[in-house]
Structure formats: C-alpha cells, structure tokens
Amino acid sequence: MFHGSIVALVTPMDSSGQVDEDAFLRLLDFQLENGTTGVVIAGTTAEAATLTDEEADRLLELAVRHIDGHVPVIAGTGNQSTTRTIRRTQKAASLGADAALAVTPCYNRPPQRGLEAHYREVARHGGLPLILYNVPTRAAVDLLPATVQRLSGEDNIVALKEAVGDATRVSEQLAACGTTMDLLSGDDGSCRAAMEAGASGVISVATNVVPGPMSRLCAAVADGDLEQARAIDTELQGLYRLLGVETNPIPVKWMLCAMGMIGPGIRLPLMPLDGAYRQDVESCLQTLGLVPGRTL
C-alpha cells in the first residue's frame, strides 16, 4: 500500500512562529514535482508537539485539497493518550486523510501489552488505515518485533515505520510484518540497506530537501539497480549526517530556509540551528547544488 519516498513534511513558520500557509503549499508542490510518493502532515518533523489541533487540522485540510489524490496524505495522529489518538485519527479521517501515522505513546512508556492494546484500539476505532511508528530514541519505548507480529493480522494496521536503523532489527521486523504489513524505514541513513533487505520505502526527513534524489534512490532499489541506488546513497551521506547534528527538525528547517523555501520560524523549546554547524550546512547544500555560493 505504501512505497517509495514518503516525506515527513516540516511545518513552515514565519519569524514570529506563525504557520506560513503559502510556504506550505510551495513545499507540497516541490514534493509532487519531484516524485515523492506520499506526504506525512503533522508528524514529528512537523513539530506536532507544538501545533494546536486547529493548526494540524488546517494543514491537513490544505494538503488534502492541494494534493487532490495524486499521492497519499498521511496524518500524524499519535499521542500519549489512546483516547486522544483515536479522536485525532477520526478527525483526520473526516478531513480526507488516506492513512494515519501513530507514534508509540511517549513519556508514559507503556509495556508491550499496553502498546498492543493501544494500537488495536486505534486501528478498530480510528477509521483510517494505520501505520505504526517506532522511534525509541524519542519516545523512550521500543515496539518490539514480537508485538508487531501479534498486531500484523489486525484489520486496518497496514504498515510499520521503523526508525531503529539496525540491520538486525530491520530483518526481525520484516519477518514480523509478514505479508499483511509494509515495512517503511524511518532512518534516512540506513533506508537504502533496509529497502535492499525488503522494506517497501522510507518515511524521510531528507526528502524535504532532496525529493528528487530520494525518489530516484527508492526507484533504483525497486528496479533492482543497486549500483545506482548505492551511488545516490553515497552522495547523500553528508546530508544525512548533518540532518542529525541537532534535534530534528532544527537542521532540516534551517536548510529549507537557506534554500529560500521557508522562513526562519521554529517554535520553542526548539531553536534555530547552532552557529557552529552552519558553515558545514552551507558547504553541503552548495555541493548538492541546492544554494548558490554564499555565507549563511
């Protein structure tokens, strides 16, 4: 159901931190014009934790209308509360989303049986195809392969976004998903290897900046052109590294601002990219041909 390069889209903001709808539509066009196969709205990269429900709903509404069925629109609906996750998923369904992406509940750190019960409830009552999202470095809980396997037969659970970029974990999750769920990498740096192992695509931060190369990377793996895929992946390794020098989405928003795609806004408690990293970011973007030679 889900494949290729799916972007975890940022939320553009002006210098005062207000959502910039015009820039948001430009970002959607940038993705559509460069082969992106799906768009996640109001996920982690979108600063979902600082968006109001009204802002998230408005962004989703704009995306559904603007994309007009050309690629799937996936709503980030995960929350610490099962009840609120269901409610947000139902709202996304009413606004026309094609699927929901629900991160494991953070901070309260449920046991595996709690994660299983949480996802079953969301799948049964949310009203949308559901993508599980495992990112233990941020959520402080790990959705284990055995739990994924138990969930794999649940109606409406259609995919897993796995952000543990370890080859062993990818193999274990692929086995756990069986034939009923897609596995999507959630780690740009290891997504090529994950797709070579059998993942169907990636939900990507890097695609915000380089949608064309990421789309070609995914297509090359799907076509069996591993030499081409590895060449693209090698070219992008510096970008992947820089996207992780500070907490996501700090680096990617700075890059998009440097490219003239969005304004400088980011909401507290996040901050603009530290000055110590800006020269490296400038050099990387120039190497990739994304900005003219200048000082940030």
Catalytic residue among 91, 119, 161, 253: 161
- Consult the annotation and say whether 203 binds a ligand: yes
Tokens of 96: 């026309």
277 carries an active-site annotation: no
Q: Name the catalytic one among 91, 107, 119, 133.
A: 133
Instruction: Tell whether residue 45 is among the known ligand binding residues.
Output: yes
The Cα 41–Cα 61 span in angstroms is 10
N-to-C CA span, the chain: 41
- CA 197 to CA 171: how far, in whole Å? 7
Euclidean distance between CA atoms 126 and 156, whole angstroms:
9
Q: Can you list the positions of beta strands (E) in 163-245?
A: 182-185, 201-204
Q: Can you state the angle between helices 211-222 and 226-242, rounded to 10 degrees?
A: 140
Name the one residue in this structure whose structure tokens are 């659970």.
Answer: 157
Task: Mark 100-121 as b/e (b = at least 16 C-beta within 10 Å).
Answer: bbbbbbbeeebeeebbbebbbe
Query: In sequence order, which residues have a C-beta less than 8 Å from that of residue 90 and are 6 or more positions away?
Result: 125, 126, 127
Annotated binding site for pyruvate: 45, 203
Which residues define the annotated binding site? 45, 203
Looking at the annotation, which residues are catalytic? 133, 161
